[in-house]
Amino acid sequence: MSDLQPVRGTHDFLPDDMRRFRRVVEAARDVAECYGYLEMATPIFEFSEVFKRTLGDTSDIVTKEMYSFVDKGGEALTLRPEATAGVARALISGGLSQHLPLKYFCAGPMFRYERPQKGRMRQFHQIDIELLGVAQPAGDVEVIACGAAILRELGVLDRTVLEINTLGDSESRNAYRGVLVNYLQGHKARLSKESTDRLDRNPLRILDSKDEGDQAIVADAPVYTDHLNAASRSFFDAVKQGLDTTGIAYQINPRLVRGLDYYCHTCFEFTAAELGAQKTVMAGGRYDGLVEIMGGPPTPGVGWASGIERIAMMLAETPPARRLIAVVPVGSTADAPATAIAERLRRAGYAVDLGYGGNLGKRMKRADKLAAAAAVILGEDELAKGVASLRDLDSGQQTAVPLAELEERLARFR
């Protein structure tokens, strides 16, 4: 046996896994389309500067988690750790600002070098929606409503909790930054080295620290919402009112933040306690400063990303595979006609399995193993009469069916 294994933090999607995966993506795509979000895709790798500029040189993702490499042409490239930066880059490089507002849905793999655990892999997959060019609170409400609708369609919404908070505008952020720094300075000796380094450059990122000592300090820090100006409070009130109007339940979590400077106003997460430590199912917020940081025109934006694997783990059951029709030739003279009939049925939209050898018994055992719905049995006697023996593999009932009527008579097995 070969000792080759998948790379740590990656895994194979076998058919049962893939059906769960597809269920999430297809449901999300359909619901997003109902909200006017059209599917697009960005490259799996970008110039490293795309992520360094947006995520910040001091963020954990950039310093510890990005899969970066220099290609044969000497270009510094990075496998995408998240989707939003690539979408913003596409807006700029594609000259799409003149078409605002833009509503995009994305699905695909992301890559982060971190400790693999349940619900967190090094190659993982996300669905993602981005609303670009809408500054009003209605945009925040819509993206949250779309996310809730996807979770509802998948039957998991009632097992999640929507937590929301506001980061306010830049004026509110700067005011809070000063208050937070004053508080943290009093605990500087107990902060982790990483948070001490961030204290001057970006103290808000300390609120995202995973260090338990830092988290204990942050637990008693001043609350962001106590330092909002009137405009920021009004914006947040409008978001809450919009969620109330759409019937979406939420809890306000004053400790929920986003450490990056381009985030503002609404941030939110759908969480599911059943997932354990990696309980975040969907997370997003408003990022009005992102496109400008990347060198584009000032462009408001709001969106979210959701881990496909995490939602798939929550599905009540694996979606059933499409049931097959087994075409079973008996004797070598039936092989060619069986092949022709199998292809004819496939072109009519049936899923068909045509075994590659064996007697009638072996072929029927294969049909049972595949959970086929029916078997079309073709032997010399059947072919001489221009019929096939059609066996319902659930009831065991078998009837002779004219070959010309096969498509019609199989309709009940679709």
Which residue do the tokens 């929550």 mark? 314
Q: Look at residue 379 in the predicted model and tell me its pLDDT.
A: 93
**What are the tokens at 232?**
């920021």
Q: Look at residue 61 in the predicted model and tell me its pLDDT.
A: 66
Q: Look at residue 97 in the predicted model and tell me its pLDDT.
A: 94
Q: Look at residue 60 in the predicted model and tell me its pLDDT.
A: 60
Q: Look at residue 209 in the predicted model and tell me its pLDDT.
A: 78
Q: Look at residue 87 in the predicted model and tell me its pLDDT.
A: 97
Model-level pTM? 0.90
Mean pLDDT in each 10-residue stretch from start to end of the chain (414 residues)?
85 95 98 98 96 69 82 95 95 95 98 82 96 98 98 97 94 89 89 85 78 88 89 97 97 82 91 89 95 94 96 94 94 93 96 88 92 95 95 95 95 90
372 HSE (CA, 13 A, CB side): 27
Q: What backbone phi and psi angles, to 5 degrees, belong to 204?
A: -65, -25
SS (H, E, C) the chain: CCCCCCCCCCCCCCHHHHHHHHHHHHHHHHHHHHCCCEECCCCCEEEHHHHHHHHCCCCHHHHHHCCEEECCCCCEEEECCCCHHHHHHHHHHCCHHHHCCEEEEEEEEEECCCCCECCECCEEEEEEEEEECCCCHHHHHHHHHHHHHHHHHCCCHHHCEEEEEECCCHHHHHHHHHHHHHHHHCCHHHCCHHHHHHHHHCHHHHHHCCCHHHHHHHCCCCCHHHHCCHHHHHHHHHHHHHHHHHCCCCEECCCCCCCCCCCEEEEEEEECHHHCCCCEEEEEEECCCHHHHCCCCCCCEEEEEEEHHHHHHHCCCCCCCCCCEEEEECCHHHHHHHHHHHHHHHHCCCCEEECCCCCHHHHHHHHHHCCCCEEEEECHHHHHHCEEEEEECCCCCEEEEEHHHHHHHCHHHC
Q: Look at residue 65 in the predicted model and tell me its pLDDT.
A: 86
| β-bridge mates for residue 301, sequence order | 132
CA distances from 47 to 55, 79, 299, 305 (A): 13, 9, 22, 21
Q: Look at residue 2 in the predicted model and tell me its pLDDT.
A: 66
Q: Look at residue 116 in the predicted model and tell me its pLDDT.
A: 76
Domains of the chain: 15-169+229-314 (3.30.930.10), 325-413 (3.40.50.800)
Q: How many CB atoms lie within 10 A of CB 299?
A: 24
